[in-house]
Chain A
Amino acid sequence: MATVAVRAESERKKKSMLWDYLTTVDHKKIAHLYFWTGLFYFLLGGLEALLMRTQLAFPLNTFLTGKSYNEVLTMHGTTMIFLVAMPLLFALMNAVVPLMIGARDLAFPYVNALSYWLYFFGALVMHIGFLTGNVPQGGWTGYMPLSLPEYSGFGMSYYAMGLQLSGLGTLLTGINFVATIVNMRAPGMTYMRMPLFVWTTLIASILIMFAFPPLTAGLFLMIYDQLFGGQVFNVAGGGNVILWQHLFWIFGHPEVYIVVLPAFGIFSEVIPVFSRKRLFGYPAMVVATALIAFFGFMVWVHHMFTVGLGPLANGIFAVMTTIIAVPTGIKIFNWIATMWGGKLRMTTAMHWSVGFIFTFVMGGVTGVMMALPPADYQYHDTYFIVAHFHYTLIGGTVFSIFAGAYYWWPKMFGRLLNETLGKIHFWFFFIGFHMTFFIQHFLGLWGMQRRVYTYLPGQGFDLANLVSTIGAYLMAIGVIVFAINIVYTFVKGKPAPADPWDGRTLEWATKAPVPEYNFARLPLIRGIDALWLEKMAGHKEMPVIEDYHDIHMPNSTVLPFLMSLTLAIAALGFIWKEEFNHAFLYMGIGGIVLTLLVMFFRSVIDDEGYHIPKAEIEREEMKGVSV
């Protein structure tokens, strides 16, 4: 393969920042893209939450009623799950997983860029409804037949198309990370030496691979029924609305683990570093993660206990659901045991971790309560459920994203976030969170229904709702402090050293800032906590297996952006053909043809990447030593 060009730095064209990010296939830059986009939607989804809490602050409030409330409710849920939780986790995965396993990039850098742009345009398609006046309003679960145009207009078509696009991106990300972790590990990085975040990324990616296709199928059928006269969910045509619930929850329950397993992984990285101890019970953690994933596909009916599938189905799924509590409990004990007797450093990341253990246990306990069908008939569709899943999703996923952001910020952006502001952020958010959601358990038990835009005075809901709303504003203050912290860090922050936390895993062995090829020479891994092992043996850096040589890099390309753009055009065309004018059908078909055309170009043009010359790499590495 002598055809691959060697291009020195001077020959590589200097690109503008916009074009650079538009065409990049570098996992570190794609991590930035995921992070900022996810953060934007986090603010948007948070704003929607505030609107809802404002409406619910007082009985019979008229701030946001009826249809508007339904729209905000739907967009809040959909945004937070699909456009915030997963992308922000992908940001952290992209930023550190290749570094943790000693790889120079993901297995498919091109597909990685494609995944991001599909997510970007999927999110955009979902929000186009705000311009055309048809905002999704059928709930984030998109139940049938409520999501058909007769009942909720074409808003849910934007939901379906948007999710279809971003879901395709997510599926490709899942495949990409599995292939990367299986194939691209550095020498000596056996499976049982991988950091736990890599393990949870691997298993969450496997869950993505198997859980997203049922959603894709369900969304196709939804789109057929909404836009092409399909009858699958139309009872008059022989259809069955329960099918949607099955397909959605076969996806939906593993989805819960897709967003929470990587969170467990992040805490399993943060807690050992700031306890100065290795993770307690590493093999048990791995097995527990795998078990959660395995059982995750046998529990979906616990979202459907009140559908009336009969005592046998409910019984089986109740048993499977309670079983899942066991591996999760093992993990909790392992984290506590890791901290036990350790030299704790209460950094901001550690604050989030301890806060997580406390909060997540509460969410887990209510989860076991709801796993029992007779009791679930009482909790179903009340604020008890709302409280439960916010305890797990915020207490698990959001806390982990904040922990990961404070912990890996120096690796991602080369600076350290301010710790004082970080702790202010934590305390506002933590207290606000418990104020908002703890009381909602009781609201639910007292009989307040979820998804309803108001309630009557004098039912005993008034004070509790006001407390909950005040809590939500405290959380908002916390997030604003985080935003200030980010700005402050970019303006005033000093460059971070390569290993600011005295880290244990391989990502801290890379230089600051991480060069685009990650490792000038591939490292040799000699055990769990590879870097810590070398530190204890008195070595300054990782042993390497090769001399400096030309490093092969993939070319950057604008095709992923174009492919996603054309698919988004197709999606909008198909919606608009029903919403406005049948002529938009041609826009839909045209979009598909253009997508195929882009794929054709991708296929026929040889793209073998280029080599960064050895001399340049040596020069860069020497620079690093002097600092």
Chain B
Amino acid sequence: MTTTHPNAMSDIEAHGHERSAEGEVQPTIELVTQEGKNKQLGVWLFIAAESVLFASFFAVYLALRHSIPNGPQPKDLFELPLVFVMTAILLTSSFTSVMAVMNMRQLKSSAMKGWLVLTWLLGFSFLLLEIYEFNHYVHMGHTFTSSAFGTAFYSLVGFHGAHVAFGLLWLMTLLLRNARREITPYTAPKVYSFSLYWHFVDLVWVFIFTIVYLMGKVG
């Protein structure tokens, strides 16, 4: 059902490197369809753009982290054990989503769903800890409106928290909609997109625990 023009095939071979390369290497399930390829690239582009968004909040935070006319200092505020636990939880949830994708590629549907549920639970406990943490800070007098440091802190860390919350809603929706569906080239890109996003959320947290919490103790 292909070629109609006499030179067409030889021309594809000569110039369409990208096409012929795909013919040799079989893609994994999330990249079989054009839609899957688009989704993978689209999420990457979204992540690149979001990096700059977070960078702006980081930059504002770095510029304002000593601007505390009233309210507690970061040294007195942050508790490293709690932050370490949160970090470990989020890192693990990122790893469990890796496991989900590996099982997805092997078409092991129930294993994939199991890992995703685990990811969700870890993410949810991270969110609970963050809510507990923020509540604690508010009681210590470190609020959104207390100082420029306060606004910058909650803008950055809260924005990340909102990403976690959105990710949890997304994952829950995915699990719901795919509860009775098999892994197909139509459903696989959806799971893969989520996992990329979730890794990115974890990646941002690596900088948050370093720049906000650890540097708050020593910087």
- Which residues of A does B touch, CB under 8 Å? 1, 107-108, 111, 171, 174-176, 178-179, 182-184, 187-188, 190, 209-210, 212-214, 216-218, 220-221, 224-225, 228-232, 234, 236-240, 243, 247, 250, 521, 524-526, 543-547, 549, 596, 600, 603-604, 606, 608
Contact = CB atoms under 8 A, between A and B. Distances in A.
> 7 smallest A-B Cβ distances: which pairs?
A238-B67, A217-B56, A543-B5, A213-B53, A238-B148, A229-B145, A213-B52
Interface of B: 1-5, 7-8, 11-12, 15-17, 19, 33-34, 37-38, 41-42, 45-46, 48-50, 52-53, 55-57, 60, 63-64, 67-69, 144-152, 155, 159, 169-170, 173-174, 176-177, 184-186
Contacts of B155: 220-221, 224, 230, 232
A182 B63 contact: no
A440 B148 CA distance: 41
Contact of A209 (B34, B48, B145): B48
Given A179-B41, A221-B151, A232 B60 contact: yes
B152 A232 contact: yes
A606 B15 CA distance: 37
A221 B155 CA distance: 8
B46 A230 contact: no
Given A213-B56, A230-B144, A232-B64, A187 B69 contact: no
B38 A238 contact: no
Given A217-B56, A608-B186, A175 B69 contact: no
A131 B108 CA distance: 58
A209 B53 CA distance: 10
B145 A230 contact: yes
Contacts of A225: 151
Given A217-B56, A237-B69, A243-B60, A545 B12 contact: yes
A600 B52 contact: no
A183 B34 contact: yes
A214 B1 contact: no
B40 to A, nearest CB: 9
Nearest to A171: B49
Contacts, number: 165
B49 A600 contact: no
Contacts of B17: 190
21 contacts: A1-B185, A108-B42, A178-B45, A179-B45, A187-B19, A220-B159, A230-B144, A232-B60, A232-B148, A236-B69, A237-B69, A237-B148, A238-B69, A239-B64, A239-B151, A240-B63, A243-B64, A543-B7, A596-B169, A604-B176, A604-B177
A232 to B, nearest CB: 5
A179 B38 contact: yes
Contacts of B60: 217, 221, 232, 243, 247
Contacts of B16: 187-188, 190
B12 A603 contact: no
Contacts of B1: 546-547, 549
Contacts of A210: 48-49, 52
Contacts of B64: 232, 238-240, 243
A216 B57 CA distance: 10
Contacts of B169: 596, 600
A270 B41 CA distance: 31
Nearest to A211: B52
Nearest to B46: A175
A603 B144 contact: no
Contacts of B15: 188, 190, 525-526
B148 A239 contact: yes
B160 to A, nearest CB: 13
B25 to A, nearest CB: 16
A231 B64 CA distance: 10
A225 B145 CA distance: 9
A225 B11 CA distance: 60
B49 A209 contact: yes
Contacts of B151: 221, 224-225, 230-232, 237, 239
Nearest to B65: A238
Given A171-B49, A230-B151, A547-B2, 10 more contacts: A1-B185, A107-B42, A175-B49, A179-B41, A217-B60, A232-B148, A238-B64, A238-B148, A239-B67, A600-B173
B45 A240 contact: no
Among B46, B53, B174, chain A packs the most CB atoms within 10 A around the CB of B53
B87 to A, nearest CB: 24
A209 B45 CA distance: 8
A248 B178 CA distance: 42
Given A179-B45, A240-B63, A526 B4 contact: no
Nearest to B149: A238
B104 to A, nearest CB: 17
A212 B46 CA distance: 12
A149 to B, nearest CB: 15
A231 B151 CA distance: 6
A183 B4 contact: no
A546 B9 CA distance: 11
Contacts of B48: 209-210
Nearest to B185: A1
Nearest to A601: B173
A536 to B, nearest CB: 15
Nearest to A297: B52
A179 B35 CA distance: 11
A182 B7 CA distance: 25
Contacts of B69: 236-238
A182 B144 contact: no
A214 B63 contact: no
Nearest to B58: A217
A463 B148 CA distance: 49
Contacts of B57: 217
Contacts of B46: 175
Among B69, B147, B151, chain A packs the most CB atoms within 10 A around the CB of B151
Contacts of A243: 60, 63-64
Nearest to A542: B5
Contacts of A174: 49
Given A543-B7, A603-B173, A247 B67 contact: no
Nearest to A242: B63
A187 B12 contact: yes
A1 B63 contact: no
A40 B38 CA distance: 33
Nearest to B45: A175
A604 B148 contact: no
A231 B148 CA distance: 5
A238 B142 CA distance: 14
Contacts of A178: 41, 45
B34 to A, nearest CB: 7
Given A190-B15, A608-B186, A546 B4 contact: yes
A605 B85 CA distance: 37
A213 B11 contact: no
Nearest to A172: B46
A184 B37 CA distance: 10
B66 to A, nearest CB: 8
A161 to B, nearest CB: 17
B144 A229 contact: yes
Contacts of A250: 56
Contacts of B11: 188, 524, 526, 543
A238 B149 CA distance: 7
Contacts of A247: 56, 60
A45 to B, nearest CB: 28
Contacts of A228: 144-145
A526 B1 CA distance: 21
A217 to B, nearest CB: 3
A46 B56 CA distance: 34
